[in-house]
A and B are shown apart, each in its own frame.
Chain A
Amino acid sequence: MLRLRAWFFRLLGLFQKNKRDVEMTEEMQAHVDLLTERNIAAGMLPHEARNAALRQFGGVEQVKEVAREQRVWRWADELFQDIRYGARMLRRTPGFSILAILCLTLGIGTNAAALSWIEGILIRPYPLVAHQDRMVALSGTVRGAERGELSYPDFLDFEKNSTLFESFIVDKITGTTLSAGDRAERSVGGIVSANYFDALGVQPILGRGFRPEEGTGRNAHPVTVISYMTWKNRYKGDPDIIGKTQFMNGVQHTIIGVAPEQFHGTFVGYSFNFWVPTSMQETFDNTGYKLEDRGARWVEGYAFLKPGITRQQGQAELSAIAKRLENDFPETNRGHGIEIFPLWKTPFNAASDMSPTLAITMAVVFFVLLIACANVSNLLLARSLLRRHEMTMRLALGAGRCRLIKQLFTEGFLLSLIASLGGIAVAYWSRNALVLAFPPSVPGITIDYPGQLDWRVLLLSVAICVGSTMLFALMPAIQSSHVNLSGALKSEGAGVVGGSGRSRLRSALVLVQVSLSFVLLAGTGLLLQSLQRMQNASPGFSTNNVIMSVVDLFSAGYKLDRAKIFHTQLLDRVRALPGVESAALARVAPFSYNPPSSAPIEIDSYQPAPDEQPNADYLQVSEDYLSTLGIRLVAGREFTKNDDENSPPVAIINETMAAKYWPGKNPIGQRLKVKDKWMQIVGVAKNVKIETKLEPPRSFFYVPVRQNFFVGNALLIRTRETPGAITNALAREVHALDPTLAPYAADRLQEQVDGRGYTQRLAATLLAIFGGMALFLAAIGLYGVMSYSVSQSTRELGVRMALGATVRDLLRLVLSRGLRLTIAGVVIGLAAALLLTRLMGNLLYKVSPRDPIAFGAALIILIAVALAACFFPARRATRIDPVRALRI
């Protein structure tokens, strides 16, 4: 009760502070008056009496201060005072405050944003999906090494025979073409198992998910769940959408559900627009019906481990099942296994491409944070020295040391609080900025790289910043609590250039900054250089005068015969267009998302090793394909119109394949067996890159499209016309053949090729941004140290001038000290960079991780920046008036 009362009293005191202060003054005044009267009564003159009374009473202000400290809820009272005072200090030195807050804001903001991207892309990539920690990606393996897909019958056997998993889902990316006006638009969707939405714990907001029976029966259930965006954009948010139909790939599909707004499917890199059940596989896969074919591997998907089961246990069980399948079905399953991956290593979406880039990003932003912290620490230290006078003065005036420490603490806290708020804002605004770093995607397709602010991430970055700020904010307090009052009140400015222990600490901070910046600069240099080399590297075919487009006959429901006629006619019409030099078909365009075909091969003269299954990738192309793309023939001939279903099967192989299977021999005229079909080799072509510029040369061959026709084909046109002109001309020709059809907007092959290099471009962009930021921060740090060191050694410089030192001497003195620091930092940075850049080997293209140009450039930039940062303080040093300097 008593305690409560006292507490209440103090609380009251806190808010009635002014009133209490007035009362206190009044009381003490009364006391002094009483004393004065008593003195007068004792015979003193009035003014003597009053002076004596004041002397007797002692320092009124000190008494009040002590009384204040005891009177109320002291710390809270002082906290308000400190915050007010701290805010005033920050306002009074706006340069310092803005700089410090800016540094910390950048540090916290970039960290929080980058960590959020990482968290969003790698750890919990799928909004609304439950139990992502137990979700694993499924991948097939071939002879334990190469990875691939699973066949549907195998998938069902894994699902049926496993006990450690809660559920299995198929999630195969697919697409269709929807018409939007007179242009075709790509729409991305998923072929998913019927349990998909249930297993993910995602409830459609309208209608329902799939029923179990909808997963089976060849093309038996044309139903679809559409995404929220599709519903809003394409169907204008029609509330009666359920039960309506959408024509996709030649089949009317009934819309049975609309997914929630935040759900974009389970594929890092793409937002899905629709989902169809597995029963519709054939409708959405232009390579045939595969639900009952154990040899057809196409399934990508996920499984959920039961709670408490580790990935290793799950893997062991699935591997055992895979072994049994190998025994039961040696024809199709020999050498085939299964591997499960955590989500962030998912092999079939962008997660695995992104993870090295994101890892580097994380390291880089952490560096930036460290540099920012070092910077702010430096600024605080510099200021602490400037404030030693103030601190000493306050100690002399009766402030407790504890009180000073608390006040500095509050100031540091205030600083980091403002910066943290700023950092959170930066992180919030840039959480989705990752998307901006990517190339513009195909119209109609949203790329989704979810960035969600995670409070744990924010907390971590804020904690690092607040921690370091506090630590260094307290430095002056710790130092000033050992201050010798009379000594410290004497003048400052008596130091020498580069003396004393505290300047060693500051130099150490600059060393850290310079070395970290060097690492970042060197890394950025490497990535930029590799990016440039990659940009300039030729994929082996011409990219600038070749334009690509697609008429999606498969989605339009064309069957094979009709498609063949259409493509043949279209090719003739395109070749007749003015400005077109040549045109060709290919089942997939080079560097597109779709991989080329792959098949086991057999060669007369080649004896494979016991556990080797010779395999090669191949592409179905029309006549003129090689000449249209400018791929040179080394020997033999190109395909002609006559290489059709009525003539003997032929193939053109690449140089790597020729060297591997027919070493030292001429392969022309030799035989190659692909899928039980013998083909005669009629040509050898130069190696070209097929999917990415980074891929190593591999065995590859071409077969005539007319002997291996598919409904869907890409159209490649060699021309000097612009893509826009070609698109319009193409649209007219397509329209003349089939008024219901429209081609995709045509694009240079160069765009297609560039699009595949996004990981490297992203890494280089991020590093360039953060490297620049680090450089900027390090320059500020260096500038701060040098200008402080100059202001501290005013007297020394004055003496030197008085003794006849020239401006040049002084400049050299100050600059050399700055340069010494920089060079020491560079040496440390060099050592660190040599160690660290090795880790980015797989992001580099034809650049050594120790590339002298990148390292040299980093060195030059840093030294130049350091010189600039030192120059201004040095110049100020030369303007010191020796007379004034000596008088200080």
Chain B
Amino acid sequence: MAKEKPDLVYGTLDMLILKALQHGARHGLAISDRIQQMSQDILRVEQGSLYPALYRLEAQGWIKAEWGVSENNRRARYYELTTAGRKQLVAEKDHWSRITRGINLVLSGG
């Protein structure tokens, strides 16, 4: 299985995390599972990148965290999008699609 590091595409990890949180609060492992699942196993988030990114996003006020209980009754920290985080996600998605459109145009050109 090809394993690609999402953070190789600079700055996209933040966007992926925000996206993974779009439909409700998740804890760290669930976030990385969600990204892996949504990308059909193409992208796998290394924990070494995940947590720093989560703290960064938290410090920026795009997500907030709260201790909760996981599906199998363990204490876990749940992350949730803030309003600012939702706006940021929209902005990053727009930005991303513009960039990829541009890149695709270049690659598909003669």
Physical interaction between A and B: yes
What residues make up the interface of A, taking CB atoms closer than 8 Å to B? 2, 5-6, 9-10, 13, 23-24, 26-28, 30-31, 33-35, 37, 56-59, 62-64, 66-67, 69-72
Chain B residues, Cβ within 8 Å of A27: 28, 51, 76-77
For A35, give the chain B residue with the smallest CB separation: B29
For B57, give the chain A residue with the smallest CB separation: A70
Chain B residues, Cβ within 8 Å of A10: 59
A37 touches B59 (CB 8 A): no
Q: Tell me the complex Cα distance, A58–B52, Å.
A: 13
Does B40 sit within 8 A of A, measured CB to CB? Answer: no
Chain A residues, Cβ within 8 Å of B59: 6, 9-10, 13, 70-72
Q: Tell me the complex Cα distance, A26–B55, Å.
A: 14
Does B11 sit within 8 A of A, measured CB to CB? Answer: no
Closest 8 CB pairs of A and B: A71-B55, A67-B52, A58-B48, A66-B52, A70-B56, A27-B77, A57-B47, A34-B29
A30 touches B77 (CB 8 A): yes
12 contacts between A and B (CB under 8 A): A5-B61, A6-B61, A30-B28, A30-B70, A30-B75, A31-B47, A58-B46, A59-B48, A62-B48, A67-B52, A70-B56, A71-B55
Interface set, chain B 72-92, CB cutoff 8 A to A: 72, 74-77, 84
Supposing A27-B28, A30-B77, A35-B29 touch, asked if A63 and B51 sit within 8 A by C-beta, the answer is yes
A2 touches B84 (CB 8 A): yes
Chain A residues, Cβ within 8 Å of B58: 9
B60 touches A6 (CB 8 A): yes
Q: Tell me the complex Cα distance, A62–B51, Å.
A: 11
Chain B residues, Cβ within 8 Å of A59: 48
Chain B residues, Cβ within 8 Å of A13: 59
For B72, give the chain A residue with the smallest CB separation: A37
Does B19 sit within 8 A of A, measured CB to CB? Answer: no
For A56, give the chain B residue with the smallest CB separation: B47
CB contact between A71 and one of B28, B56, B61, B77 (< 8 Å): that residue: B56
Chain A residues, Cβ within 8 Å of B76: 27, 30-31, 34
B47 touches A58 (CB 8 A): yes
Q: Tell me the complex Cα distance, A35–B27, Å.
A: 12
Minimum CB–CB distance for B28 against chain A, Å: 5
- Count of B interface residues, CB-CB < 8 Å: 22
CB contact between A34 and one of B48, B51, B74 (< 8 Å): that residue: B74
Q: Tell me the complex Cα distance, A398–B84, Å.
A: 33
Main secondary structure on chain A at its contact with chain B? helix
A63 touches B47 (CB 8 A): yes
* Per-residue interface assignment for chain B, residues 16 to 48, with 1 indicating a CB less than 8 Å from any chain A CB and 0 otherwise: 000000000001110000000000000000111
Q: Tell me the complex Cα distance, A28–B51, Å.
A: 8
Supposing A30-B77, A31-B29, A31-B47 touch, asked if A67 and B55 sit within 8 A by C-beta, the answer is yes
- Max chain B Cβ within 10 angstroms of own Cβ: one of A27, A63, A71: A27
B51 touches A67 (CB 8 A): yes
A70 touches B55 (CB 8 A): yes
Chain B residues, Cβ within 8 Å of A63: 47-48, 51-52
Chain A residues, Cβ within 8 Å of B52: 63, 66-67, 69-71
Q: Tell me the complex Cα distance, A10–B58, Å.
A: 10
Main secondary structure on chain B at its contact with chain A? helix
Q: Tell me the complex Cα distance, A23–B55, Å.
A: 12
- Max chain A Cβ within 10 angstroms of own Cβ: one of B56, B61, B72: B61
Q: Tell me the complex Cα distance, A34–B46, Å.
A: 15
Chain A residues, Cβ within 8 Å of B53: 70
Chain B residues, Cβ within 8 Å of A72: 59
Supposing A58-B48, A63-B48, A66-B48 touch, asked if A30 and B61 sit within 8 A by C-beta, the answer is no
Minimum CB–CB distance for B66 against chain A, Å: 12
B74 touches A33 (CB 8 A): yes
Q: Tell me the complex Cα distance, A529–B26, Å.
A: 87
Q: Tell me the complex Cα distance, A616–B77, Å.
A: 102
Q: Tell me the complex Cα distance, A62–B52, Å.
A: 10
Chain B residues, Cβ within 8 Å of A6: 59-61
- Max chain B Cβ within 10 angstroms of own Cβ: one of A24, A35, A56, A71: A71
Minimum CB–CB distance for A110 against chain B, Å: 49
Minimum CB–CB distance for A91 against chain B, Å: 33
Chain B residues, Cβ within 8 Å of A64: 51
Minimum CB–CB distance for B110 against chain A, Å: 43
Supposing A6-B60, A35-B29, A72-B59 touch, asked if A30 and B74 sit within 8 A by C-beta, the answer is yes
Chain B residues, Cβ within 8 Å of A56: 47
For B84, give the chain A residue with the smallest CB separation: A2
Q: Tell me the complex Cα distance, A618–B17, Å.
A: 102
Apart from the given pairs A34-B76, A63-B51, 14 other A-B contacts in the complex at a CB distance below 8 Å: A9-B59, A24-B55, A26-B75, A30-B28, A30-B75, A31-B28, A34-B72, A34-B74, A57-B47, A58-B46, A58-B48, A63-B47, A71-B52, A71-B56
For A28, give the chain B residue with the smallest CB separation: B51
- Max chain A Cβ within 10 angstroms of own Cβ: one of B27, B51, B58, B61: B51
Chain A residues, Cβ within 8 Å of B70: 30, 34
For B54, give the chain A residue with the smallest CB separation: A67
For A57, give the chain B residue with the smallest CB separation: B47
Q: Tell me the complex Cα distance, A28–B46, Å.
A: 13
Chain B residues, Cβ within 8 Å of A62: 48
- Max chain B Cβ within 10 angstroms of own Cβ: one of A35, A58, A64, A70: A70
Q: Tell me the complex Cα distance, A24–B53, Å.
A: 13
Chain B residues, Cβ within 8 Å of A28: 47, 51
For A7, give the chain B residue with the smallest CB separation: B59
Minimum CB–CB distance for A72 against chain B, Å: 7
Q: Tell me the complex Cα distance, A26–B60, Å.
A: 22
Q: Tell me the complex Cα distance, A13–B61, Å.
A: 14
Q: Tell me the complex Cα distance, A56–B47, Å.
A: 8
Chain A residues, Cβ within 8 Å of B29: 31, 34-35
For B32, give the chain A residue with the smallest CB separation: A31
Q: Tell me the complex Cα distance, A72–B84, Å.
A: 19
Chain A residues, Cβ within 8 Å of B56: 70-71
Q: Tell me the complex Cα distance, A30–B48, Å.
A: 15
Chain A residues, Cβ within 8 Å of B46: 58
Minimum CB–CB distance for A466 against chain B, Å: 33
- Max chain B Cβ within 10 angstroms of own Cβ: one of A59, A67, A72: A67
Q: Tell me the complex Cα distance, A2–B72, Å.
A: 35
- Max chain B Cβ within 10 angstroms of own Cβ: one of A13, A24, A57: A57
Chain A residues, Cβ within 8 Å of B60: 2, 6
- Max chain B Cβ within 10 angstroms of own Cβ: one of A6, A34, A37, A59: A34
Q: Tell me the complex Cα distance, A5–B61, Å.
A: 7
Chain A residues, Cβ within 8 Å of B47: 28, 31, 56-58, 63
Q: Tell me the complex Cα distance, A296–B69, Å.
A: 106
